[in-house]
Structure 1
Amino acid sequence: MKTLPLKCAVVALLLGGTAHAVEALVPYDNFNPMEPSPPRATKIRGIDPARWADVQTGSRVDSVRELAFTRLRLMSRADTGTGRFGLRLTHPEQVTAIAAKVRVNNARSTGCAAPRSPTARSTTELTGRFFNAGLPSRGSAFDDVTASIRVVSRSTDPLGSNELRVEAVIEQCRDTTCTGRTQLFATDLGLVHQGEQASLRVQWDADNDRFVFQRDAQPEVHGPYTVSDTHAPGAPDKALVVTHALPTCASGTPLPRGYANAYFHDVLVNASAAP
């Protein structure tokens, strides 16, 4: 057995016995039209269509998607069903990592009045479908595997609380639209106050069969998976979104509510996906 050079040996120990390292992150969009990073060849007013495309599924009462100088603002209010609202990256097949500063100014979820009713949930997410665990069909999300780092409000949160929860999840899509999902991994990354900024990152480490999640300067969290990752996703997607998932309440009772008002700053991606 050859002796590793000292530098390589140290790297191998730090990475748990392998010298593999995930790709470095670089700027994708700082939402600053005056001093964009990375620079643009031409001046863009509003959201850059070369870097972003709209995401809008499900129903909502009202919504806002706007550039607020150096920030992206997403707001969604709903009283029924499930939905996603935001922006997706225009070349998702090249993206293996997304990072951004996220501030959820306000989020509220209320469920049905009946006891033991399903929980209502609103989220603010960096999310994507990274690979397919079976035999992909073009345009179908069935068996696509998603990874998300998110700030969550639930109807089971203490009444009047200003605390939201940061979570990381890996899920496998059970249908063509990825409405139904099987959870492969989940972990709690702690609480964050409404109005407090958090730096979030999700990154696919394919060589080690895992995703890397990080919040602020906390230690990285590794989410392993055991499903096959050799195929590209049938419906590739990487996005910044706010979502709602609301139960159906009995007729004549108050409707459930989902609300999220969030800002995204300084989006980064893996270097090979830079604009």
Structure 2
Amino acid sequence: MTHTKRLFAASTLVLASLSAVAATVSDNFNLPEIDATRWSAPESYRYVDNGRLYLGQWGFGNTASNSGVTVTQLGLSQLDTSPARAVKVTIAVEDIDRLDGCAANTTPSTARARVIGNYFSTRVGGPVAGDFTGDVLAQAWLRRSSNSTDAPGVLRVAGGVPQCTNLDCSTSNNLGSVDLGTANVGDKVTLQIEWDAANNQFLFIRDGGTPLAVPYTVTITGTPARPFNSLTARAEVANCMAGRAKAGIGAQFDNYGIVH
């Protein structure tokens, strides 16, 4: 028997043995959402429809511990990554109906829709390309946490200025934040961030109202090491040994404007 014939005969035997195995349905997808006991991937969507950008992100916490969170996010980033002097967008949260916490984990799950950008580096010796350490970001968001005491459907609106302390900015120092009130699911909220570099501050404006300032005293040593300007839907889900917690958010974004 030639080598080719031997391979064909072996393949035929394998196929015959597989055909004799009774197939068992693992998931017939008749649940209203992805079965978290069978599938590991987060759920997400991103599309444009009727003149609006839609972003949705739902993630899962891990079951290895009762501390910390697992972060997933989906966004849209500009090709022009140079720091913005001002950025503005209207956000309306559509869906935040799943926000699991974990009784054994003191860190709550949170979900947010936001506008965010990277502005400058404060790293001693200057920025290192690709390394977030020392970069200063500014962001404004609509958010809800699993430990919220607000009525159902109420979101917190705020802005903040984190200073990254490691390579991927998974840890940071908070240089300051502002409370921009509350909003309900479905409300259209216009958020604006202005970098007032001459006065060492960021200004946050909601719906054309009074600017609220976050001043900073850090020393700028260069441009951002990892520059970006983005719109994102982000889930930070509590890790929980008792079972996989799930959290996420869906939102629409409209009338995005940026000045460099």
- Residue 107 of structure 2 is matched in structure 1 by 118
What is the 5 A alignment of 1:163-178? 163-178=154-169
Decide whether the 8 Å contact of 2:121 with 2:134 is kept in 1.
Answer: yes
- Counterpart AA for 2:103: A
Partner in structure 2 of residue 76 of structure 1? 57
Structure 2 match to 1:213: 204
Q: TM-score, normalised by structure 1?
A: 0.73
Secondary structure of the residue aligned to 1:109 is: coil
Task: Kindly state the Cα deviation for residue 110 of structure 1 after the two structures are TM-superposed.
Answer: 1.9
**Alpha-carbon separation, structure 2, partners of 1:106 and 1:121:** 13
Match of 1:127 among 106, 111, 116: 116
Instruction: Read off the aligned partner of 2:147 and give its amino acid letter.
Output: T
1:109 matched residue in structure 2: 99
Q: Deviations over 1:176-207 (max 9, x none)?
A: 11111111101211000000100111121111
CA RMSD of aligned residues (A): 1.6
1:100-249 equivalences in 2 (<5 Å):
100-107=89-96, 108-114=98-104, 117-134=106-123, 135-158=126-149, 161-249=152-240
Match of 1:86 among 69, 72, 75: 75
Mapping of 1:34-73 within 5 angstroms? 60-73=41-54
**Map of 2:28 onto structure 1:** none
3-state SS of paired residue (2:133): coil
CA distance in 2 between counterparts of 1:191 and 1:211 reads: 21
Q: Unpaired runs of 5+ in structure 1?
A: 1-58
Paired residue type of 2:110: R
Amino acid corresponding to residue 188 of structure 2 in structure 1: Q
Counterparts of 1:181 and 1:68, CA distance in 2: 35
Computing the radius of gyration over CA atoms, which structure comes out larger, 1 or 2? 2
Q: Is the 8 A contact 2:47 2:55 kept in 1?
A: yes
The alignment of Structure 1 onto Structure 2 pairs a total of residues equal to 210
Structure 1 segments, 4+ long, off by >3 Å, are none
Shift of 1:247: 2.3
Whole-angstrom distance in 1 between the partners of 2:101 and 2:150: 12
Q: How far off is 1:83 after superposition?
A: 1.9
Distance 1:101 1:203 in 2: 15
1:142-170 per-position Cα deviation (integer Å, ceiling 9, x unaligned): 11001100001101113861100001100
Measured in 2, the distance between the counterparts of 1:118 and 1:261 equals 22
- Shift of residue 230 of structure 1? 4.2
